[in-house]
Structure 1
């Protein structure tokens, strides 16, 4: 659910190009199958089983599909928050109540997103989340996540830190996107776990 943002770090740019190219090589059936397998592993996470509120996202393009995971969380009775992109690339939030609660929104010349059609809850709504599911392109052995450079989730993570909120941070990726190391900057924050189609890997929580 992130955009390319032309990040200054050339190492990040090059790695993003490689990872996006690999994603584009996947067939629609491969992406759908990955989403189904990923959802099955994610739903076994104790963090999600115990969560009252989960901040998630609707996958777009070649991202691992999140549709099944969102619906299963809803059917469990979990309150699911979904992002809506603001003009400054920050994120507002709304509640997911089923596929009919989503609306297609195009932001200028960028890709179309599925966003919550109901009332907006404000950027601080994410502070109520017990778990935040994050999009990304890669994660390394330290738990450092590589996003797509738009900065939306950097703002979310900074907001959580300022408020002293400590939800579980979980990134959803393909298996090949768990790598040895990604370039990191001072503002980058590690995640606590990654879920892929073949399982879960946890990182040391600070």
Structure 2
């Protein structure tokens, strides 16, 4: 890690990641299932998603807020859905999502589409971008997993394209330590609704 980013902030990020991940592991399965249903309704009712032809999203794994129902609902609503494919250099390629059968196990416990790779610039074609995260501050500072993959991808998203992180309600509005490479998001989608950041 670049020393100019500051060790204190990096340490604070690690502590917050540990705290959020521990809370997610304690979350009852019923709550996670309820969230998946609720956030699907929230997303489908949100104008940027409702009006989009192409949605960049992601396949949730482990204790992440579930996106399986959402992805299938987007496809059912005739949206073109692209999801990331992690490259060896930790950047994100993209491929079309065509239902659970289009996915296969990949590195780091991920599920990735088996279809044609569209290239790292494919995220630019999305009308709205839905990203994973662990927390967001009141001004849209997003805490990720620490690999920097999404910060690189989000730097390619054209100005004006709505970008939303999917989070549990209690993960929004936290104090998120930031580093120079971090890219802010404009919105959070939770089971309770849409939060717009300053």
Normalising by structure 1, report the TM-score: 0.88
Hey, what does 1:154 align to over in structure 2?
A: 151
Hey, what does 1:59 align to over in structure 2?
A: 60
Choose from 166, 179, 184 the match for 1:185. 179
Conservation of the 8 A alpha-carbon contact between 2:129 and 2:164: yes
Hey, what does 1:81 align to over in structure 2?
A: 82
Question: What is the DSSP-based 3-state SS (H/G/I as helix, E as strand, rest coil) of the residue aligned with 2:64?
Answer: coil
Gaps of 5+ in 1: 1-6
Q: Distance in 1 between matches of 2:44 and 2:159?
A: 23
Pairs aligned (count): 191
Conservation of the 8 A alpha-carbon contact between 2:135 and 2:174: no
1:49 aligns with 2:50: yes
Conservation of the 8 A alpha-carbon contact between 2:128 and 2:161: yes
Hey, what does 1:71 align to over in structure 2?
A: 72
Between 1:165-174 and 1:130-139, the stretch displaced more is: 165-174
1:200 aligns with 2:186: no
Q: Distance in 1 between matches of 2:160 and 2:118?
A: 20
List aligned pairs for 1:157-176, cutoff 5 A. Answer: 157-160=154-157, 164-176=158-170
Normalising by structure 2, report the TM-score: 0.92
Structure 1: 4+ residue segments shifted above 3 A: none
Choose from 94, 110, 114 the match for 1:113. 110
Q: Distance in 2 between matches of 1:145 and 1:78?
A: 26
Question: What is the DSSP-based 3-state SS (H/G/I as helix, E as strand, rest coil) of the residue aligned with 1:159?
Answer: coil
Q: Distance in 2 between matches of 1:147 and 1:86?
A: 17
Choose from 142, 148, 153 the match for 2:139. 142
Question: What is the DSSP-based 3-state SS (H/G/I as helix, E as strand, rest coil) of the residue aligned with 2:45?
Answer: coil
List aligned pairs for 1:11-50, cutoff 5 A. Answer: 11-50=12-51
Conservation of the 8 A alpha-carbon contact between 1:157 and 1:189: yes
Gaps of 5+ in 2: 1-5
Query: How far 1:187 moved relative to its partner?
Result: 2.1
